[in-house]
Amino acid sequence: MNSSVAPQAARPHRTDKAPPPDAALAIRARIVAAFGRHFLARTDDGRLLPCVPRGKRSEAVCGDQVLLAPGDPPLAIDRVLPRRNALWREDQWRSKMFAANIDRVLLVTAAVPGVNHGLIGRALIATDAAGIPVTLLLNKCDLPQAEAARAEVSLYRDLGYDVLELSVRSAPDAARQTLLPLLSGQTCLLLGASGVGKSSLTNLLVPDAAAATGEISAALSAGRHTTTATRLYPIPGLPGGSDLMDSPGFQSFGLHHLSVSQLQHAFPEIRARLGQCRFHNCTHRNEPGCVFTADPQAISPARLQLYRTIHAELTAPQPR
Ligand SMILES: Nc1nc2c(ncn2[C@@H]2O[C@H](COP(=O)(O)OP(=O)(O)OP(=O)(O)O)[C@@H](O)[C@H]2O)c(=O)[nH]1
Ligand SMILES: [Mg+2]
Ligand SMILES: [Zn+2]
């Protein structure tokens, strides 16, 4: 379970019972939407093609490069090409891949519903382990709660992460100007809890996206309207290859797919002082002579607690 390299990350997969693909006839495309077993892929010349996996298992995720067999729609996905990277979460029961082939994660938090350190900390660990650069976005800075949220995210700035502030609602032009340099020529994934404004930001940058946001359901009094599938959109006005992915908000973020070493290296403050504890194999949980227990400057109590909680999750005996 705790293997450091996920099996899906690097290998090309043939979907079940695929005949040998004829490279000359195959259509190369990128998955831009996944709804259960139904996918939408975009060719380099901009055609959108409905497609389905050949066998029972649907291994493709948003962002994957695939080879499609020519034929009547929906086309069969013959092969998922090797991934540069993939981001996913995994708990005791199941694993969920968010997306693949990502240049940067834009990890969104907001003044309302507030900064959730558990989710942010875990998402930062997962992106580090996947080798994907990350930028934190603090949205809804127009709200009175922004001051408190700013104080909360300063922790991440101090740890060396890039943190950008914006208000999609009250300062859309400034938000665009802040983000465009990061987005140019890149595939960026918006990631974050529900209601932080990922789809609002998508609609700002991709006016044709019509991504569902909170308002739509308010108008229909149908309760909250929340994104249910990851989608990839080309960003107009930027060079080709500038793509934005909107994803559903997450409430939990299991990290069962990581090794203890990946966990320790993903905490900048732990990485900086590895090897300084009395025991070389210190787990930083309860050993004597642990620098993180002894020196309150080494790591904040909340971050140390998060580390210990995740360490316990990774090393707990697996249920039979
Ligand atoms: N005050 C304020 N509200 C905002 C801002 N950006 C977005 N919102 C509102 O926040 C609510 C949620 O926004 P969404 O864009 O649907 O959030 P989401 O992150 O896509 O949520 P999920 O799809 O559930 O993950 C909507 O009512 C937006 O209008 C902002 O900058 N300021
Ligand atoms: Mg959304
Ligand atoms: Zn230690």
Average pLDDT over residues 3-14: 45
Looking at residue 272, its pLDDT comes to 96
pLDDT in tens, 171-227: 999 999 999 999 999 999 999 999 999 999 999 999 988 876 766 444 444 456 688
pTM for this entry: 0.91
Statement to judge: residues 101 and 239 lie in one domain: yes
Q: Classify residue 292: in a domain, yes or no.
A: yes
Task: Provide residues with CB under 6 Å of ligand 1.
Answer: 139-140, 142-143, 167-169, 192, 194-200, 213-215, 226-227, 248-249
Report the pLDDT averaged over residues 286-296.
95
Going by pLDDT thresholds of 50, 70 and 90, the confidence category of residue 1 is very low
Candidates 239, 228, 284; CA nearest to 261 is 284
The CATH number for 296's domain is 1.10.40
Q: Which parts of 58-186 are beta strand (E)?
A: 65-69, 75-80, 86-90, 95-100, 104-110, 134-139, 162-165
246, 279, 306 - which closes a domain: 246
Q: What is the mean pLDDT of the chain?
A: 89
Q: Are residues 204 and 241 in the same domain?
A: yes
φ/ψ of residue 86, rounded to 5? -155, 145
Q: Is residue 195 part of a domain?
A: yes
Residues 241 and 267 in one domain: no
177 and 308, same domain (yes or no): no
Identify the pLDDT of residue 36: 85
- Answer whether residue 240 is part of any domain: yes
Structural domain includes residue 7: no
Phi, psi of 166 (to 5 degrees): -155, 165
CA of 121 to the centre of ligand 2 (A): 21
Q: How many domains does the chain have?
A: 3
Residues 126 and 191 in one domain: yes
**Same domain, yes or no, for 96 and 156?**
yes
For residue 2, tell me if it sits in a domain.
no
Task: Please report which ligand is nearest the Cα atom of 304.
Answer: 3
> Is the model's pLDDT at 15 over the cut of 70?
no
pLDDT of residue 175: 98
CA distance 312 to 310: 5
Q: Is residue 53 over pLDDT 60? A: yes
Same domain, yes or no: 44 and 92: no
Same domain membership, residue 110 and residue 67: no
Residue 290 has pLDDT above 50, yes or no: yes
**What residues contact 173, with CB distance under 8 A and at least 6 apart?**
none
Residue 138 near residue 166, CB atoms below 8 Å: yes
Boundary residue ending a domain (46, 65, 80): 80
Residues near ligand 3 ion, CB 5 Å cutoff? 277, 282, 284, 290
Residues 40 and 131 reside in one and the same domain: no
Q: Which domain holds residue 272?
A: 260-315
Per residue in 63-95, pLDDT (tens digit) is 999 999 999 999 999 999 999 999 999 988 888
Same domain, 277 and 131: no
Residue 48 and residue 192 share a domain:
no
Chain Cα centroid distance, residue 308: 23
**CATH number of the structural domain spanning residue 120:** 3.40.50.300
